[in-house]
Amino acid sequence: MKTLISVIGTTGIGKTKLAIGIAKHFGTEIVSCDSRQFFREMKIGTATPSDAELAEVTHHFIGNLSVKDYYSIGQFEKDAAEKLAELFQKHDVAVLVGGSMMYEKAVIEGLNDLPEADENHQKRLAEIWDSEGIEKLQQMLLDLDPEYYRNVDLNNPRRLLRAIDIIWQTRKTYTENIADQVMKRNFEVVRIGIEAPRETIYERINQRVEQMISDGLVDEARSLVDYKNLVPLQTVGYTELFKYFDGSWTLDFAIEEIKKNSRRFAKRQLTWYRKEENIHWVNFENSLEESLSLLKKIM
């Protein structure tokens, strides 16, 4: 039986470094399930692995798309499954890494058979978004599905539109719709989560944002202003800077909002992962050694 080792954890906790260490140990390759790192124009704001890191181990699904490309989670599930089948012909082990919870779930469990978007629902929700803002969509989701509200990226309007549409169509919460595993995979999955005290996570996030600014995030975001309404750019690190560019916010305020919204996302990740029962947790300060010791016992 082949084994997929899935490295998970909050934003900024060191998943890339651990995934590379594990992949080098097993002489294998890495599949990314970070939905923001698919897009080549967003390297800085998504903390895409550096050229040096990418040179250490072969990565897949990093910078393989343009922000102008449409790419669904359903297409990713199909592409990732095909890539893993290819990798497992050469290797007994592959590594999956990323903080996009639903994308990891799609790879290790498959996708639920959710209905296609309802055009009338989408139009109605888009009108609400235009007239009352994203806050109204957030409140609607909170009323309809408090559990998913605690997990979803609340600053991504497309995720909110999709969830509400599905709830309206199925008369079940989005959480209920995605609860069951769809198909049995033909590989074993070992999930390794990196844990740290919450104050450490928040401190690392703040430091990462400062590093992104030093690395040129403002210029990167400015180069993408023409595409600011596209789905990939409805995300933390870019939406805040777009408000700086249009004069709504100062740069200092926008940077603090990036930090705050990144911390909120980390909190949602923690909420999601704490409900999962099959994660082996390792300490962030010694993650590779603990992971290899663990894998030696269970593989």
Q: Which residues are annotated as a binding site for substrate?
A: 11-16
Query: What tokens were used for 103?
Result: 């994308």
Q: Which parts are annotated binding residues?
A: 9-16
Q: Using an 8 Å Cβ cutoff, are 280 and 6 in contact? A: no
Residue 247's CB is within 10 A of a number of other CB atoms, namely 7
3-state secondary structure of 111: coil
State the Cα angle at 188 between 185 and 189, rounded to 5°: 95
Q: Which parts are annotated binding residues for ATP?
A: 9-16
The number of helix segments (H) and strand segments (E) in the chain equals: 14, 6
Contacts of 106 by beta carbon, 8 Å cutoff, 6+ apart = 33, 73, 74, 76, 77, 80
Report CA-CA distances (Å) from 82 to 2, 5, 24, 76, 117: 14, 17, 22, 10, 25
